[in-house]
C-alpha cells in the first residue's frame, strides 16, 4: 500500500513535470529574454539557449512518456517485465542524445557542459538500473517456469 502510494506520488510528479515542460515550451523565449535582462547577460546567448531548449524538448518529453508508462506498469503490479527493461533502455538512449546536444551547446554557452555531465551521469545510472531490471526479469521468468 505504502509502495503504491510512493509510485503514485512519482506518477503525479511526472505529470507535473510534463505540465511544466509544456508551459516552458510555450514561454521559453520570453523566459530566456527575462533571464538575460535580469542577470545582465550578453544578448548573444539568447539564441543558443532557446535552440538548445527546443532541441532537448522532444527527448525530455520522451523520457517523461517512458517514465509514465514505467510507473503505470509498476502501479499495476507488473514490475519485472521485459517491456520495463525496454523502457529503461529507451530512457538511457534519450538521455544519451540529450548529453550530445548539451555537449554541442556547451561550445556556444559554457554552462551547458555542466548539464551535459549531469545527463551523462544519469545515462550511467539508468543503464545500471536497466541491467538490474534485466537480471530480475530473468530470475522472475525462471521462477515462473519452475513447477
Partner 1 sequence: MSIRINLDVEMAKKKISSGALAEQIGITQANLSILKTGKAKAIRFSTLEAICEALGCQPGDILEYVDDGKE
Per rule CB under 8 A, count of chain residues that contact partner 1: 5
When asked if residue 145 is in the footprint of partner 1 (CB under 8 A), the reply is yes
Tell whether residue 30 is a contact of partner 1 (CB under 8 A): no
Exactly one of 1, 26, 30, 147 binds partner 1 (CB under 8 A); that residue is 147
Q: Taking a C-beta distance cutoff of 8 angstroms, is the pair 25, 57 a contact?
A: yes
- Spell out the residues 6+ positions from residue 50 whose beta carbon is closer than 8 angstroms to its own: 28, 29, 32
Q: Which is nearer to partner 1, 43 or 144 (CB)?
A: 144
Under the binding rule (CB under 8 A), the answer on residue 135 touching partner 1 is no
Q: Would you state the cell numbers that stand for residue 5, as one nine-digit string?
A: 502510494
Closer CB to partner 1, 40 or 142, in the complex: 142
Contact at 8 Å (CB) between 62 and 90?
A: yes
**Based on CB atoms, which residue is closest to partner 1, 30 or 145?**
145
**Which residue in the block uniquely carries the three cell numbers 543503464?**
127
Residue 82 engages partner 1 in binding (rule: CB under 8 A): no
CA-CA-CA-CA dihedral for 81, 63, 127, 106, to nearest 10: 170
Q: Does 43 bind partner 1 (CB under 8 A)?
A: no
* Stretch near partner 1 under the rule CB under 8 A, chosen from 43-51, 72-80, 109-117, 139-147: 139-147
**Three cell numbers, residue 8:** 503514485
d(CA 103, CA 109): 10
139 binds partner 1 (CB under 8 A): no
Cell numbers at 117, concatenated? 555531465
Pick the stretch among 55-63, 99-107, 128-136, 137-145 that binds partner 1 (CB under 8 A).
137-145
CA distance 26 to 121: 29
> Which chain residues interact with partner 1 by CB under 8 A?
141-142, 145-147
Amino acid at each position: 500500500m505504502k509502495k503504491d502510494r510512493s509510485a503514485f506520488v512519482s506518477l503525479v510528479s511526472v505529470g507535473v513535470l510534463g505540465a511544466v515542460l509544456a508551459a516552458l515550451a510555450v514561454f521559453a523565449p520570453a523566459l530566456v529574454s527575462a533571464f538575460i535582462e535580469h542577470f545582465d547577460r550578453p544578448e548573444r546567448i539568447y539564441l543558443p539557449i532557446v535552440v538548445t531548449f527546443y532541441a532537448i524538448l522532444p527527448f525530455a518529453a520522451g523520457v517523461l512518456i517512458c517514465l509514465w508508462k514505467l510507473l503505470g506498469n509498476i502501479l499495476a503490479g507488473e514490475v519485472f517485465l521485459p517491456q520495463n527493461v525496454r523502457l529503461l533502455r529507451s530512457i538511457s538512449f534519450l538521455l544519451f542524445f540529450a548529453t550530445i546536444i548539451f555537449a554541442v551547446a556547451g561550445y556556444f554557452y559554457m554552462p551547458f557542459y555542466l548539464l551535459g555531465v549531469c545527463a551523462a551521469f544519469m545515462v550511467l545510472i539508468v543503464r545500471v538500473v536497466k541491467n538490474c531490471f534485466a537480471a530480475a526479469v530473468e530470475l522472475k521468468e525462471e521462477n515462473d517456469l519452475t513447477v
